Amino acid sequence: MSAISPRTTSLYPRHVAAGAKLGDFAGWQMPLDYGSPRGEHLAVRGSVGLFDVSHMGQIEVAGREARSLLAWALTNDVAAIGPGQGQYTLMLTDEGGVIDDLIVYALLDRYLLVVNAANRDVCWARICEGAEGRDVEVAERSDEIAMLALQGPDWAKALEPLAGSPAPLGLEYFEITEDMIAQVPALVARTGYTGEPGVEIMCPWELAPRIWDALMRGSTSVTPAGLVARDTLRTEMGYPLYGNELGRDRGPIAAGLKWACDAAGLAFAGAESVRRDLEHPPSERLVAFAFDEPGIPRPGQSVLVSDVLAGTVTSGTLSPSLECGIGMAYVRSDLAMPDTAIVVDVRGRLRRGHIARRPLVARSPRTD
């Protein structure tokens, strides 16, 4: 039997025309870079970049018991958000392992969940499981909705000429609104995965090229950016990636995500495990680190403290902003303090570094 070919987004012809280096990601043929991952990274930090993230999944939940379903399925307190607001949250197994980290948006008549590409099917199955016996309607919209991420300090300058109203330009962090973008109906959310101000634009699948073209032709210079830059940007911010920092083998407390759990209610699926971890903290903790000498860390490499094995690298890269090796790792909780000196075994060569506070770079969309 032949292997299943990777899927493509509606923007695939644009990526090919732009000379993108394409690669498989979660079963999708996606742009890794357009010739200069470092240049794309720095464009997002310094001006504005545009990502195709249409491989992400979208699930809608509506009905009288929609909030009840999400209170069971998601760790954060969904009752804390109202129409026009979003929330970072997690979906756990009954045993407390992470199924996915995602964003839930409250719209006027429904909730919208944006889930990771690799977890579309398992998140859908989990929502359907919780929907049984509840007065809710759930819908899988992943193949109908395209998604673009416009990220960087100049995002509003690039978007303003295309917006149907001033509403998207006035959004606060984690707010969402409906508007016309380049005469295409869209949801515009003040969210992102880069640590820079910006928006994520969700629109009908087949109309995404119209928005992409309008942004690329605008008077503000917009740089197309691929998944390599997206990864270095999120690593500089210390944002976890499912499959690296998050998975079914660990809970949210070890990952430093207590703030994304409704610790007061603890009524969600998997809450008992979270309660245990709150009472008896896990033996390891997720930290960020930076090298003090040349070298590039990679996932799976050992972290040592005072010649003792202390943990394992989960993400590692060369930071274009800091011009040094950086990463994240799970290390023993008693050794996880900031400024602790570490050594990482980089293919047999020991590289000195230190545990650092997250984010590793100063900018954050909370303060733009």
pLDDT in tens, 11-44: 999 999 999 999 999 999 999 999 999 999 999 9
Q: Is 320 among the domain residues? A: yes
Residues in Cβ contact with 287 at an 8 Å cutoff, skipping those fewer than 6 apart: 311, 328, 329, 330, 331, 336, 355, 356
Task: Please tell me the pTM assigned to this model.
Answer: 0.96
pLDDT tens per residue, range 244-277 = 999 999 999 999 999 999 988 889 999 999 999 9
pLDDT of residue 4: 65
Same domain flag for 109 and 159: no
Residue 6 lies in a domain: no
Kindly tell me if the per-residue pLDDT of 366 is higher than 60: no
Cα 330 to chain centroid distance, Å, stands at 19
User: Given CA atoms 259, 269, 255, 148 in this order, what sign does their dihedral have?
Assistant: negative
State which of 123, 140, 157 marks the end of a domain.
Answer: 140
Burial class (CB in 10 A: 0-12, 13-18, 19+), 123: buried
Looking at the predicted structure, is the pLDDT value of residue 365 above 70? no
Cα–Cα distance for residue pair 320/305, rounded to 1 Å:
26
pLDDT in tens, 270-328: 999 999 999 999 999 999 999 999 999 999 999 999 999 999 999 999 999 999 999 99
The HSE-up count of residue 59 (CA atoms within 13 Å, CB side) is 26
Instruction: For residue 274, give the DSSP letter.
Output: H
By DSSP bridging, strand 223-224 and strand 49-52 are: parallel
The CATH number of whichever domain residue 195 belongs to comes to 3.30.1360.120
- Write the CATH number for 328: 2.40.30.110
pLDDT for position 367: 41
Are 331 and 310 members of one domain? yes
Residue 1 has pLDDT above 70, yes or no: no
Contacts of 121 by beta carbon, 8 Å cutoff, 6+ apart:
none
Domain count, the chain: 3
- Of 140, 158, 183, the one marking the end of a domain is 140
Q: How many residues does the chain have?
A: 368
5 falls in which pLDDT band (50, 70, 90)?
Answer: confident
What is the CA 277 to chain-centroid distance, rounded?
24
Say which amino acid occupies 234. Answer: R
Task: Tell me which residue range forms the domain holding 329.
Answer: 283-359
Q: What percent of the chain has pLDDT over 70?
A: 97
> Within a domain: residue 105?
yes
Among candidate residues 93, 116, 140, the one where a domain is terminated: 140
pLDDT tens, position by position, 141-175? 999 999 999 999 999 999 999 999 999 999 999 99
